[in-house]
Amino acid sequence: MAEETEGLPSRTDFSAWYNEVIRRADIIDVRYPVKGLNVWYPFGFALRQHTYNLLRSLLNRDHEEALFPLLIPENEFMKEAEHIKGFEDEVYWVTHGGLTPLDVKLALRPTSETAIYPMYSLWVRSHADLPLKLYQIVNTFRYETKHTRPLIRVREITSFMESHTVHTDWEDANNQVEYEIELAKEFYRELGVPIIISKRPDWDKFPGADFTIAVDAVFPDGRTLQIGTVHHLGDHFAKTFDITYEDVNGEQKLASQTCFGISERSLAAIIAVHGDDKGLVLPATVAPTQVVIIPIIVGKRGDEILAAAAELEAELKAAGLRVKTDKRDMRPGAKYYHWELNGVPLRVEIGPRDLDNKQLVCVNRLGVKTQIPREGAVESVNRLLNEAHDQILEKAENHLEAHLKHAETVEEANEVLEGNVVAVHWCGDRECADKLEELTNSALLGTEIRSKYVADDEGRCIICGKPAKPALIGRSY
RNA sequence: GGGGUGGUAGGGUAGCCUGGUCCAUCCUAGAGCGUUUGGGACGCUUUGACCCCAGUUCGAAUCUGGGCCACCCCA
């Protein structure tokens, strides 16, 4: 909350840029004295609120929000073998109540399957109880041993949206998987963040899932960030936690389940994908302030201008816009830089010339300047906000397209891998994937790619030459 | 997982090797006053720090040990 106003590192040095923007734009303070636990500043928290309100509004179409406990007893946590294996080395344990050692250790949830599913076992009795679709937005804890990074890799995930659904059969659960993929797409479209959807290789799926569909964003440096996952859990957890129902014929059947997660990494994506050398570029859908009014106070007309600004602010607010008027005693230029750092989508200037001409000067966050008549300002501002959103989405799309390369051979892949994600063909064998990862020093991100930039065509495996499907390789955060 | 660098005021730095005259310094930071205001204003006044815990010592930002935290590079 101490703003410096000059010398933001260039975004080409992404790490330095990211750390500075997160701090200077009042998103996150990393100085909390525990590794991987960070503090949300009010501004960052407001951005989080708007983003999660959007997510809630999408989920509430077919889910209900609930809340399960943070602590999970060891015996429940240890029930599902694969799940344990996936998480055991990164779980925090509560071992004492005061000075007394606990008989049953309690895990801080790294994710909540084992907290929720014992309850689902009690709640699901008949086919009439299904489908059951709940979600919660909570903090989860993972003892990360790798380098932590605000919003990207943290030990307390403060904003984990996890959806857990229960269905009568595998097919119905699979439809839910598709539905949730569409939901994620809509969410990220609203944020202007282009995504790549793919199926994670088997060895990289969620521990205990049939398969995992991942949503990735491509960062300025060409590395990918997983910003959402949808898992088809099959009946693995239903078996373990005894989630059964009586079907129409009176038979007991195992349920089929999905889960779906999105975290504050979605905010990391907004920041990283849209930001520029001046700071944040926020989509109007979630910007805490959508419009900032800058009164240009010159000479003796100050009061007149402030009154005009107040009137405009009231008018825009009445139309439901999030508006602020910056009346501080600063040079206008300094204010422009300030609000640009904070990513405000649209700036409206009102000065003596504008009063005389009955107009307003609008500049969007990408620097596009427009003069609008004072009359009908609400409609004009809304139009400009929509245009601004289209512009940042287009810019982000262009970036994604530019960083998606194709390669037929390992040599070609190595030539274009630096700073890019690369589509290759892969036969599906683990051995070939291992070899490919080793030869290219990258990771196999996924197959069954859903992206207009990657054709779903047959080819020859880049390693063994057998018939193969497209796969993506790259470096991830 | 492996290696490296570092922690001094809101931010950026110097000092550390060689312990003490160290009241350190700069600012894009904060406070106050005045003049200003169509792309980062100016003047004056002023505020504020040696990551934590032990140890060595008459004396530690500085040396020793441990811890915590941050950042960078490689697998």
ipTM, interface predicted TM-score of the complex: 0.93
Each residue's pLDDT tens digit, A410-436: 999 999 999 999 999 999 999 999 999
Let me know if residue A286 belongs to a domain: no
Asked whether residue A278's C-beta has any atom of DNA/RNA strand B within 7 A, the reply is yes
**What per-residue string of b and e applies to A325-351 under the rule 16 or more CB within 10 Å gives b?**
bbeeeeebeebbbbbbbbbbbbbbbbb
CA of A97 to C1' of B12 (A): 45
Judgement on whether residues A209 and A164 belong to the same structural domain of the protein: yes
Q: How far apart, in whole angstroms, are the C-alpha atoms of residue A41 and residue A4?
A: 16
Q: Are residues A296 and A158 in the same domain?
A: no
Distance in angstroms (rounded) separating the CA atoms of residues A317 and A306: 16
Asked if A354 CB < 7 A from strand B, the reply is yes
User: Rounded to whole angstroms, how far apart are CA atoms A219 and A95?
Assistant: 40
Chain A residues 359-378 with Cβ under 7 Å of strand B are: 361, 363, 367
Nearest of A292, A229, A301 to residue A266 by alpha carbon: A229
Measured CA to C1', the nucleotide nearest A296 is: B38
> Based on the domain organization, do A306 and A267 belong to the same domain?
no
Answer whether residue A393 is part of any domain.
no
Asked if A262 and A311 sit in the same domain, the reply is no
Return the exposure string of A413-431: e unless at least 16 CB atoms fall within 10 Å of the residue's CB, then b.
beebbebbbbbbbbbeeee
**Using the CB atom, is residue A2 less than 7 Å from strand B?**
yes
- Mean per-residue pLDDT for A438-456? 95
pLDDT in tens, A174-226: 999 999 999 999 999 999 999 999 999 999 999 999 999 999 999 999 999 99
Domain assignment present for A3 = no
Specify if A395 maps to a domain.
no
Residue A396 domain flag = no
If you average pLDDT over residues A151-162, what whole number do you get? 97
> Looking at the structure, do residues A42 and A186 belong to the same domain, yes or no?
yes
pTM above 0.90, yes or no: yes
Residues A331 and A453 in one domain: no
- Chain-wide mean pLDDT for chain A? 95
- A338 sits within 7 Å of strand B by its CB: yes
Number of domains in chain A: 3
The sign one gets for the Cα dihedral A60, A66, A70, A75 is: negative
pLDDT over 80 at A143, yes or no: yes
pLDDT for residue A162: 98
Distance (Å) from CA A111 to C1' B68?
27
Same domain, A270 and A296: no
A352 touches strand B (CB under 7 A): yes
Tell me which of A25-34, A253-262, A314-323 is least confident. Answer: A25-34
Q: What is the pLDDT of residue A169?
A: 97
Residues A168 and A266 in one domain: yes
Report d(CA A191, CA A50) in Å as an integer: 11
Angle at A442 between CA A441 and CA A445, to 5 degrees: 160
Is there a single domain that holds both residue A298 and residue A269? no
Residue A398 lies in a domain: no
Q: Which of A351, A384, A417 is the last residue of a domain?
A: A384
What domain range is A107 assigned to? 14-274
Select from A78, A72, A75, A76 the least CA-distant residue to A92.
A72
Residue–nucleotide distance: A310 CA to B43 C1' (Å): 32
pLDDT for A5:
57
CATH number at residue A365: 3.40.50.800
Same domain, A254 and A304: no
Domain closes at, from A274, A301, A329: A274
Tell me, yes or no, whether A4 lies in a domain: no
The reply to whether A119 and A154 lie within a common domain is yes
Is residue A365 a part of any domain in this protein? Answer: yes
Query: Integer distance in angstroms from CA A287 to C1' B31?
Result: 31
Are residues A309 and A178 part of one domain?
no
> Which pLDDT score, from 0 to 100, does residue A300 have?
79
Output the six-digit token pair for A240.
């373990």
Distance A32 CA to B57 C1' (A): 34
Among A350, A384, A418, residue at a domain's last position: A384
Q: A451 CA, B57 C1': separation in Å?
A: 69
Query: Could you tell me the CATH number of the domain that includes residue A421?
Result: 3.30.110.30
Q: Are residues A471 and A406 in contact, defined by beta-carbon separation less than 8 angstroms?
A: no
For residue A263, the domain's CATH number is 3.30.930.10
Q: Is the pLDDT of residue A2 over 60?
A: no
